[in-house]
Amino acid sequence: MNSKLALTAAAIAALWATAPAAIAEPTTEDRTIVGDVQAAYSELRRGDGWQRVVREDLVTASATRATGRTSLTYFGQLTDFQLSDEESPARVEFLDISGSPATAAHRPQEALVAFMTDQAIRAVNSFGTSAITGAALEYNLITGDQADNMQRNEAEAVVKLLEGGQVTTNSGVEDLCNLRPGEAAKYTGVQDHDDYYESGDHYDPENPIGRYSAWPVYQNLMDRAQLPFSAAGSDVPTYVTFGNHDNLQQGNQWSNASFEAIATGCAKVFAPVPLNQQANLINGLGTSPQNVFNVPPDPARQMVDKAQYKALHDDPASNDHGFGYVDPAENAASNGAASYYTWEPKPGLQLISIDTVSEGGTTGDSASGNIDAAQWAWLQGVLDANESEPAATRDLVILFGHHPERSLTAQTPDEFAPPCTGVNDAHGHDANPGCDMDPRISTPLRHGDDLVAELLEHPHVIAYVAGHTHEHKIIPFARADGSGGFWEIETSAIVDWPHQARLVEVTDNGDDTLSIFGTLIDHLGPTTAPAPGNASGFNRRELASLGRTFGFNDEQAGGGTGEGTPADRNVELLLPDPR
């Protein structure tokens, strides 16, 4: 870029000062945000609300159920931030080019995801009181893929977003391999045609060409996005589960020392290159000046294994974002890898977090999930223990995890990743950060049909809350005898359109039925993005608004891809009260 934005304390303070405080917004029942999916580039505007759909798949609704309704729990779900270090040499944007079968290796809005996540958390905070019952918001479930590429700096930024404080997404330190002095404080990557070959496959806001030629010009946007900002943090405890991007390279591959060296180094592979040469680039065999450029290196781009990831979530208010509830016996038996846990946030309710990552890490297969044998035995034990209690003291059970039933299909055993060497490197983990930490045999693996069958055997399970698919989808699973079942609730990604979170409330209707209310909310960025021009003075809400607009216009996962049907959006989900 011809002009670079200086990182000065005065500039940061001025930008913080111009960012408005969080304000309460209507839900998507009242109004939505829409654009023109046929346009080469569309601005966004207000649209009609999404009417609440009453779903009676598991039991018939009583006309008088609202008169005796009491709240059992009220919480938020946010999922799939996929907050990326968009300057990292470990990114593989070169796979995501015109004519390639690979997708989602690059998003035009990825530098703005931290701002969208902050505004989504602020939006959930603004609904601290339920509009349905007046109950207070109790906690938020964060259902995986918080980070994008299992890097330490990504995970650290996510923790700050959840807890509040100064968030820094810029990476890179000054080093002799820099092309220009001072580059580390600025953006260096594929969205700057001064750094990257002008292929037109990625959006440079200062020089949009090729597939982005209809997109607007925003000077200094990429540098502005690198400035630190103050995140609000959640007003209530947040509980985290692992997604494939939190524990696998690019959400697919077990990580080794070579990948980590690329991530922390300064040689970044770029494209375009013929598809038949891309495998050589991935394996580090293409090193000509036509295939790489220098970026500022950064040791904070190191990979984090599961134990390190959990340790970063040190928060007494949420018992370490849930990881403090991991059974000590499971933690010891897994050499610190176990991340599944359960607890009772209030009398009569049990929450269970499951880890669905296919830790064997085979590209393609391991983007989907599974449950290994040790976790499966633990889960069965937790569910059986609840059902063995006297009827009057059994808890209602809500599971949450990353992969929904239809994505629990990965066939790769954990042992496909090599066993750990037992020798830590300079980054505090095994020399291969994606090694198989857990010495227990992972097989037989369990998949979606196994999970559904197991949950249906336990009548007090009422819901499974998941992410991963980047779309709104709600599926009922019924017992064959007609005695009810449970609901699977999927919510779209923060990283991709429609960039929404979901409010969830479970109510006792006083008529032997329960209702699960799901209400979608938009983040607090303005509907209309700021006009093209110099982005140096944009505040954090305007940057979040731009992120949403870019997300709508993303040709791979934009408008029309994540909204689901009306029955997947604002809903009341009925089921028999198993108590």
**Nearest Cα residue to 284 out of 300, 314, 263:** 263
pLDDT at 330 over 70: yes
Question: Of the ranges 28-32, 283-287, 349-353, which one carries the lowest mean pLDDT score?
Answer: 283-287
pLDDT grade for 179, boundaries at 50, 70 and 90: low
324 vs 99 pLDDT, higher one? 324
Q: Measured on CA atoms in the order 104, 108, 113, 114, is the torsion positive or negative?
A: positive
Cβ atoms of residues 33 and 522 within 8 Å: yes
Quick check: 429 and 311 in contact, CB under 8 A? no
* Per-residue pLDDT tens digits for 22-52: 344 589 999 999 999 999 999 999 999 999 9
| 485-513: average pLDDT | 97
Q: What is the pLDDT of residues 186-213, one digit of tens each?
A: 999 889 888 776 778 889 999 999 999 9
pLDDT at 54: 98
505-528 confidence digits (pLDDT tens): 999 999 999 999 999 999 999 999
Indicate whether 502 pLDDT > 90: yes
Cβ atoms of residues 347 and 353 within 8 Å? no
Tokens of 79: 């999922």
pLDDT value of position 101: 62
pLDDT exceeds 70 at position 98: no
Ordered domains of the chain (ranges, CATH): 9-576 (3.60.21.10)
pLDDT of residue 8: 35
What pLDDT is attached to residue 92? 84
| 165-167/229-231 β-pairing | antiparallel
Name the one residue in this structure whose structure tokens are 């198993």. 578
Average pLDDT over residues 426-434: 93
**Cα atoms in the 13 Å half-sphere on the side-chain side of 337:** 26
**pLDDT at 63 > cutoff 70:** yes
Provide the token pair at 396: 């209602």
Q: Is 428 buried (19+), middle (13-18) or exposed (0-12) by CB count in 10 A?
A: middle
287 — pLDDT class (breaks 50, 70, 90): very low
How far is residue 471 from each of residues 79, 119, 364, 573, measured CA to CA in Å? Answer: 10, 19, 20, 18
How far apart, in whole angstroms, are the C-alpha atoms of residue 502 and residue 487?
15
309-314 average pLDDT score: 97
Give percent of the chain above pLDDT 70. Answer: 90
- Percent of the chain past pLDDT 90, that is, above it, reads 80
Q: What is the pTM of this model?
A: 0.92
- Name the band, by pLDDT with cuts 50, 70 and 90, for residue 293: confident
Q: Which amino acid is at 167?
A: V
Peptide bond into 444 cis (omega under 30): yes
Q: At what angle do helices 540-553 and 113-126 cross, to 10 degrees?
A: 110
Contact between 562 and 467 (Cβ < 8 Å): no
- Binned at pLDDT 50, 70 and 90, residue 100 comes out as low
Q: What is the pLDDT of residue 290?
A: 56
Work out the burial of residue 41: count CB atoms within 10 Å of its CB; fewer than 13 is exposed, 13-18 middle, 19 or more buried.
middle
pLDDT of 62: 93
What mean pLDDT is predicted for residues 343-360? 97
Mean pLDDT of all residues in 266-284: 56
Question: Would you say residue 73 has pLDDT above 60?
Answer: yes
